[in-house]
Amino acid sequence: MTEPVRLTRYARGGGCACKIPPGELEAMVAGLAPASGTAELLVGIDHGDDAAVVRLDECTGLVSTADFFTPVVDDPYDWGRIAAANALSDVYAMGGTPLVALNLLCWPRDVLPLDLAREVLRGGQDVARQAGCHLAGGHSVDDDGPKYGLAVTGVVRPDELITLDAGRAGLPLSLTKPLGVGVLNTRHKATGETFPEAVATMSTLNRDAARAAVAAGIRCGTDVTGFGLLGHASKLARASRLTVAIDTARVPYLAGAREAVRDGYVSGGSRRNLDWVTPWTDVGPTGETDRLLLADAQTSGGLLVAGEVPGATVIGELLPRGEHLLL
């Protein structure tokens, strides 16, 4: 019998851990201003929000984003579902609703069977259908390694926008999904072990959490992906000019995450995340295992919002001034 193809062996990094490190990215885009357009730009690149937003009229903002990455799991259908859920999350993180998406596919056609690419696309299609979002074509290129994701367009009411710079001191900080998919995916890539709970978490849409956040009047937040909880919390702290205090004992984790760190399955991206936030983080008594998990590069993680959402875990609060992290 033919041995199943292990897609993760064709990836330099796994999922959102393959992102350019946050410090390098900030330096790369420093000084770049958005090209001017005819529509009013409500959200651009100033704070590193999850998507761009332009105003169409008083009641409608257009949300635009793109996200794609290397295989995070070996199963092509699951990878397609995870990548689609991750891309759609950028719209949900802004408080919006996705309307239409386009596939972004890079495929080594002389190395991997096209039947596998079809399964990846099928996974993305099924999640887009679940989201009520049209998936209408896209773009593909012959590449050295497989990559997949979506370009997504959605809508949002301007008065319901969720952004990084809208935090207020005294608000609680809530997380809607557990952490740990990064270290579990790293273990999966190295050993072939499978983690169904991690796959289920990554392929779950942030739609319901976003709707609940908007209904609760929450206007500050982001999603937790490749920069880890600490990286994304740091961006929120700097944009809102507040201190983010995290109660490390309250942060939820997937089963097996601590064991994965103990056994050394920590990606280079997660370590770079921790290095990046350390200069403006008061770690207190927090041990190395917890610091690595808090910086763990997530793929299709949950929402991190300033406020309380039913079913989410309150993991901290926003404090006046500081623009740093307190653990």
The set of residues, in sequence order, having a beta carbon less than 8 Å from that of 224 and lying 6+ positions away, is 175, 177, 179, 232, 298, 301, 302, 303, 304
- Cα separation, 128 vs 131, in Å, equals 5
Q: 41: closest CA among 25, 20, 24, 64?
A: 64
Distance CA 154, CA 53 (A): 9
**Residues tagged active-site:** 16
